[in-house]
Chain A
Amino acid sequence: MLAIDVERLQKSFRVQKNREGLGGALKDLLRREYTEVEAVKRISFQIPQGEICGYIGENGAGKSTTIKMLTGILVPTSGKVVVGGYVPFKEREKFVKNIGVVFGQRSQLWWDIGVIESFHLLRKVYRVPENDFRKRLDELVERLQLGELLNRPVRKLSLGQRMRCELVASLLHNPSILFLDEPTIGLDILVKTEIRDFLMGLNKEHGTTILLTTHDLQDIEALCSRVIMLDDGSIIYDGSLETLKSNWSKGREIQFQFAHPVKKAQMESWTEGLDIQWRPENDLTAKLWLPHSVNVSEALSRIVGATEIRDIKILETNTDEIVREIYQSEKVSS
């Protein structure tokens, strides 16, 4: 079954134009001018139940707008959206009982009182039976090691502790779909890892569908089997992270450390006939860049046969670089 089904989903806003200077402001007082901005441009995607999907894109690409439409906060301008069997904006109150939402930048907890009080309140709001609530809370508390934090007021919590509590708050009613907007923003590596592990476990045991937006591609690498990449309101990539990497990284880099000093001309003579570039760093080390079209073993065997080698390192291009490259090429092509 599909957890999220989106077809030709579109959202445009009317944005007020501010005329410049005092004269402009006075004119605005009498008559306003607006421009139409298309934040999300007829996007389509389907997410089956139990998938963890990463939703990435630069600021202003339309990520938040999409999330807001998926969670029923915004009404789409046109297109189809079905989440967990509901049209989010139509039966809002029924629909939201089945989803959990965490906005990384905003708290859903009471600031001045113990965390547990907020949880009790949410239990009432979501009408969770006392027994289910207990069981669920115990499980979550144990998983996220919140034990002694429960009675502390939110304002006395660190960001990492708060984020873990936010997660619990959004999961108390056992939603089948979880939306996370920048869940790891501003957290240290340790907490990030903890949260990733927790989400992974949640997905494995309860089959919770998770859609997360993030700027941290490590989140994506650790969690997501699938990535949807958005740019300027349109989807520019939808598929597995692996495919993304192999499609977009044009080759790999290999670093050699030679036993004896080697000249650039010598290096080039070893790999004559192959589409390969050498970049010597000093007499003893050099980097070799070879596109996917070139057979790695052939290149290596030629070099190894020609000279004595102390060390070889294969440098994989990381996701950050790939993503940056995609954006740049999109900018050029559009």
Chain B
Amino acid sequence: MNNAYLDIIRIRFLTMLAYRVNYYSGIVIYAINIGAYYFLWQAIYGDQPTLGGFTVAQMTTYVAVSWMSRAFYFNNLDREIANEIRDGSVAIQFIRPYSYLLVKMMQGLGEGLFRLLLFMVPGMVFVCLIFPVTLPTSLETWMIYLIMLVFSFLINTQINMLAGLFAFYVENNEGMMRMKRVMVDLFSGVIIPVSFFPGWLEGIMKWLPFQAITYLPSSVFTGRTEGGMALQVLGLQALWFAVLLLPILWIWRKARHRLFVQGG
């Protein structure tokens, strides 16, 4: 890989480090989030042993790991891209000797790595001390989960890019981006595991990329999906990654053409 891209990751990482209020408040807020959802689910379970195929213990782990993985894959690339399109600075990016979208993705990765190492790891330790979270014992599960986490990042970033690139077509895509955020949070399974949805909605979800961001990997982590099934999940993630590449490249190519012809 080109060294410049590594540098972009590094710079974003350092930039994130420079804002310590964000850092400290981020840890606290993620912990409160996980805590609140933990109690909320406790109350929802009441004295029922399983709901939507989850035991209480699995649910606790699910909530913790889902929020923590969200810390890694979450980014604001949609907003950044849309802003750069709107103020016209994207035109300059076409003449630079790098791929704009890759640069953006690397920035997102720098941000994600920052949160992974400085939020997730300490946050997870903290959460494990307070709540009855059961971590997987096999090394294999850990390894496969980490690979899945990378795909979660990639797929979420791709969706963000699509939402951001939409700014090429409409003057103000603020509403669209917000809608996208709702859909990702709701359908990826951070807030409710997809298996809790009514049957018809769960059926629709099978055909959308959102569950590949949180629900499927977190299910592997909690031990609900094992062995060969886990590999299947990985395959599904890879498939979505490949499928989502197509519309992005298509829009990008068209936008580039339009910019060259109309001069922005």
Contacts and interface: CB of A to CB of B under 8 A. Distances in A.
Interface string A192-218: 000000000000000000000000000
A29 B13 CA distance: 13
B20 A29 contact: yes
A18 interface: yes
B23 A22 contact: no
Point out which of A25, A26, A28 has the most chain B C-beta atoms below 10 A from its C-beta.
A25
Nearest to A32: B20
Nearest to A29: B20
Contact of A18 (B13, B18, B20, B23): B18
Interface string B4-34: 0000000001100110100100000000000
A81 B18 CA distance: 36
B20 A22 contact: no
Contacts of A22: 13-14, 17
Contacts of A28: 17-18, 20
Nearest to A20: B14
A29 B23 contact: yes
Interface residues of A, number: 6
Contacts of B14: 22, 25
Nearest to B23: A29
A18 B20 CA distance: 13
Contacts of A25: 14, 17-18
Interface string A15-37: 00010001001101100000000
A22 to B, nearest CB: 7
Say whether chain B's binding surface is mostly helix, strand, loop, or mixed: helix
A110 to B, nearest CB: 16
Interface in A1-47: 18, 22, 25-26, 28-29
Contacts of B18: 18, 25, 28
B123 to A, nearest CB: 16
A189 B20 CA distance: 47
Contacts of B17: 22, 25-26, 28-29
A32 to B, nearest CB: 8
A28 B20 CA distance: 8
A25 B13 CA distance: 10
Contacts of B13: 22
A26 B20 CA distance: 10
Nearest to A18: B18
A238 B17 CA distance: 45
Nearest to B10: A22
Nearest to A26: B17
B248 to A, nearest CB: 29
A29 B20 CA distance: 6
A22 B15 CA distance: 10
A140 B178 CA distance: 43
A29 B23 CA distance: 9
Nearest to B16: A25
A18 B13 CA distance: 14
A18 B18 CA distance: 8
Nearest to B19: A29
A198 B193 CA distance: 67
Contacts of A18: 18
Interface in B225-252: none
A26 B14 CA distance: 9
Nearest to A30: B20
A26 B17 CA distance: 7
A67 B211 CA distance: 56
B100 to A, nearest CB: 25
Interface centre among B13, B14, B18 (most CB of A within 10 A): B14
Interface in A96-136: none
A22 B7 CA distance: 12
B162 to A, nearest CB: 27
B10 to A, nearest CB: 8
A45 B20 CA distance: 41
A29 B18 CA distance: 7
A203 B10 CA distance: 54
B47 to A, nearest CB: 45
A30 to B, nearest CB: 8
A25 B23 CA distance: 12
Contacts of B20: 28-29
B138 to A, nearest CB: 32
A221 B56 CA distance: 80
A110 B214 CA distance: 42
A7 to B, nearest CB: 38
Contacts of B23: 29
A141 B252 CA distance: 45
A25 B14 CA distance: 7
Contacts of A26: 17
6 contacts: A18-B18, A22-B17, A25-B14, A26-B17, A28-B17, A28-B20
Given A18-B18, A25-B18, 12 more contacts: A22-B13, A22-B14, A22-B17, A25-B14, A25-B17, A26-B17, A28-B17, A28-B18, A28-B20, A29-B17, A29-B20, A29-B23
A-B CB proximity, top 4 nearest: A25-B17, A29-B20, A25-B14, A29-B17
